[in-house]
Amino acid sequence: MVSYKAPLNDIRFVLYELLDYETTIAALPGYEEATRDVVDAVLDEAARFCETELLPLNGPGDAEGCTFEDGTVRTPLGFKEAYRHFIKAGWTGLACDTQYGGQGLPNVLQFVLEELIWSTNLSFGIYPGLSHAGSHALALHGSEDQKRLFLPRIVDGTWSATMCLTEPQCGTDLGLVRTRAEPKGGSTYKITGTKIFISAGEHDLTENIVHMVLARLPGAPSGTRGLSLFIVPKFLVKPDGTLGTHNRVSCSSIEQKMGIKASSTCTLNFEGAEGYLVGKPNTGMHCMFTMMNTARLAIGLQGLGLAETAYQSAVAYARERLQGRSLSGSKFPDKAADPIIVHPDVRKNLLTARAYNQGARALALWVGMAMDVAVKHPDPARGIEAEDLVALMTPIIKAFVTDYGFEATNLGLQVFGGYGYIRDSGMEQLVRDARIAQIYEGTNGLQALDLVGRKLPQDSGRLLRRFFHPVSQFIDENTGDAELQPFVLPLAKAFARLQQATLWVAQESLKDGQEAGAAACDYLRMFALVALAYMWARTAKVAVGKLAAEKESFYRAKLATANFYMTRVLPQTSGLFAAITAGARSIMDVHEEWF
């Protein structure tokens, strides 16, 4: 069994001290009631629910997995009861609009809730996680009738939602979608085709499942320009909102997977199923991107959640496991051996995970607050700036945080040694579960291409300025502070390298598009490392000013972790810069037959 306690002290530090939640978010129109007292109560109850109800189901759910028989999927023992408790507590509607039964709380609290869920039971969290993304897309793009019929029941959790994109012949390249939509009259269509790898496509947790399906209308343009989005419910819905007959959609199988075994991953067959057009014809990708980007940010938090549990479990084990003696002399001479936390390599593994986790948490919640500013700020210009930042950082959070999440779970397993490789420890499950986050909802390579190919050049670098300008301003304002120089100067050097790399990628890509593709993944990681350095430098500034406070040890631990990040993690940017500017030839000049 893994060790986990919701890191509320760090979450509260980020919200209140680092990011100034009360001034930045609670002061926005519509969030006046989301006071610190309310937020603290939400955090405490979310932590209690995840620690006591979800965590105990994680290992048993992985061992049992989902079962499939005669088209029916059953989730593991305990999941249905936990889900009933989950929706009764209102967690499905935490950040949803009050007009559809949601609580209307800030999006940044949804980020916190998701981290806690992913930390304790990733498989369980996928079911309501997809529903949240689906409700967001429907709220923005659905008709008033569609929102009236579907949103209240998705928001309250009695119905769930899915995202149906992938087909046997198309994953990343959705332009190859073959699923057909034939008009029946009005906004009703017959949907025919097969979708694969559909998370939560069939299960026993909700009364109905609302599938959000990409399909192609007759005569539609080729490629992604010809895709439309449709609502296809498992059970047809009557005008009064009650359920009718079973729609012509069925599950033909579930996948036997490496991880997330308690999350059903389904093949769905649509055989003339009744569906309803969302938005206008041939705008399906635009509508679906709303759902996809919500999901991508949530998946980034999956990496953080699993890495946090791996870190906490590894720390607990390292304090107890006795092996060898400290290289500087025995630290516990009364014991048969010293605990392994005295050894430099073990400490480096733990500190690496800690530095990534706390830096990524700060970055993610900064972006979560930007989402709230984008939708609530009374100044449209401020809203656009915040929206730009969210767009820029979405591929970075999705890709980098899941990449390092897998790395951190492996570091945690390494601390456990052979015991980590054994199922009883729970560590090997974290590694298996973490691996999918680098793949689904757009592989991390695709996220990197999105960053360099779309986000960087957009409007002559407008999105890029939303990050570069505040970082540059912070460096200028704090370089002269002697206490902050150990944190600001490394940030300044890495930021200068990132600016150089950005210019290099932009210039070379104009000459040869292969250059952007060859540099993309290294560039995204370099950008992310600098973004975390910015968060750590800001953290250090807060901590330095609090060293005389009651929680002095908390702030000294922050400074120590910040120092480790700047001296042991951030130097990766030098190697990444060299790899980026090496160009594409060493990759693309290799003949295919040489592989």
Q: Which residues are catalytic?
A: 441
Nearest to 447, CA basis, from 502, 552, 517: 517
CA dist., res. 318 & res. 455, Å (int): 42
3-state secondary structure of 230: strand
Q: How far is Cα 393 from Cα 389, in angstroms, rounded to an integer?
A: 6
Q: Which residues have CB under 8 Å from 440's CB, separation 6+? A: 197, 199, 299
Neighbouring C-beta atoms of residue 71, cutoff 10 Å = 11
Whether the Cβ atoms of residue 332 and residue 319 lie closer than 8 Å to each other: no
Reduce the DSSP state of residue 426 to 3 states and report it: coil
Would you list the DSSP string of 157-214?
Answer: TSEEEEEE--BTTBSS-GGG---EEEEEETTEEEEEEEEEEEETSS-SSSSEEEEEEE
Q: Specify the DSSP class assigned to residue 73.
A: E
Alpha-carbon distance 440 to 573, whole Å?
A: 26
Residue with tokens 């990409």: 214
The Cα 129–Cα 124 span in angstroms is 9
How many whole angstroms separate alpha carbon 81 and alpha carbon 584? 53
Tokens read off for 234: 């498992």
**Sequence letter at residue 483:** E
Instruction: State the Cα–Cα distance between residues 467 and 356, nearest whole angstrom.
Output: 19
What is the DSSP annotation of 578-593?
HHHHT-SHHHHTS-GG
Handedness of CA 313, 315, 320, 323 (dihedral sign): positive
C-beta pairs of 94-102 under 8 Å, 24+ apart in sequence: 94/42, 95/132, 96/132, 96/135, 96/139, 96/155, 97/139, 97/155, 100/135, 100/139, 100/147, 100/151, 100/152, 100/155, 101/151, 101/152, 101/155, 101/156, 102/155
Question: What whole-number distance in Å separates Cα of residue 521 and Cα of residue 537?
Answer: 24
Q: Which of 463, 478, 584, 473 is nearest to 527 (CA)?
A: 463
Q: Specify the DSSP element, H or E, that contains 36.
A: helix 36-49
Return the DSSP state at 339: B
